[in-house]
Amino acid sequence: MRIISGSARGRKLLAPGQRFGKQIRPTSDRAREAIFSILGARVAGARVVDLFAGTGALGLEALSRGALLALFVDGQRSVVDLIERNIELCGFGERATVLQRDLARGLAFLAPFKPVGGFELVFLDPPYASALAQRVLASLAEGNFLGAKGIVVLEDAAAAHYPQTVGPLTCFEQRRYGEAGFWLYQHM
């Protein structure tokens, strides 16, 4: 697992290893490369949130490609420690914040971290086949966390189904890479 492009290109990230079992399922390099190809120039200067961050690879890739800042959120202390180590490896400490929060309890904790104008990019990668993805997506849509052109990238099992619209958000792209499915939402 490595950073694909940008200022930290080629940097190897620490992998979760055996002790995490199936708690962490990193997004494959191939899928990450494809998603960032779709996002293109929208990443540079973006303020990013990586929810259910796992290794932090999605947020770190965004920082490497010029995102202004990234907020990483995961519910487990050991996972938060792994994210912090990967941030240090990439040298992004000044542009990254890591929080340990139980995302099943909602997103109210994001309010003090929301930048003026909202976040431009949100990665949402909960455990596959859980109800969390739909709940957190709805909370993002209702919570006014996204900027006017903000994008939510949701990852789940490719066989999962998500609605075309969630509140003010519309799915404008859907992709499948192996067992992983991606749904990209934004205000339309």
Tell me whether residue 6 is in a domain: no
The reply to whether 3 falls in a domain is no
CA dihedral angle for residue 38, residue 98, residue 110, residue 21, rounded to 10 degrees:
70
Q: How many CB atoms lie within 10 A of CB 168?
A: 13
Residue 5 lies in a domain: no
* 23 is a domain residue: no
The answer to whether 183 touches 154, Cβ cutoff 8 Å, is: yes
144 band by pLDDT with thresholds 50, 70 and 90: confident
Model confidence at 153: pLDDT above 60: yes
The 10 Å Cβ neighbour count of residue 144 is: 11
Residue 7 located in a structural domain:
no
Is residue 73 within a helix (H) or strand (E), and if so which, with residue range?
A: strand 69-74
CA 63/CA 6 separation, integer angstroms: 8
Report the domain count for the chain.
1
User: 23-73, pLDDT tens digit by residue?
Assistant: 567 787 888 899 999 999 999 999 999 999 999 999 999 999 999 999 999
148 Cβ neighbours under 8 A, 6+ residues apart? 117, 118, 187
Q: What is the pLDDT of residue 20?
A: 52
**Does the residue 16 lie in any domain?**
no
Residue 181 lies in a domain: yes
Question: Domain containing 81: what range?
Answer: 31-187
CATH number at residue 179: 3.40.50.150
Q: Is 152 contained in some domain?
A: yes
Among 32, 25, 8, 27, smallest CA distance to 93 is for: 8
pLDDT 10s digits, 82-137: 999 999 999 999 999 999 999 999 999 999 999 999 999 999 999 887 889 999 99
* Distance, CA of 61 to CA of 39 (rounded, Å): 12
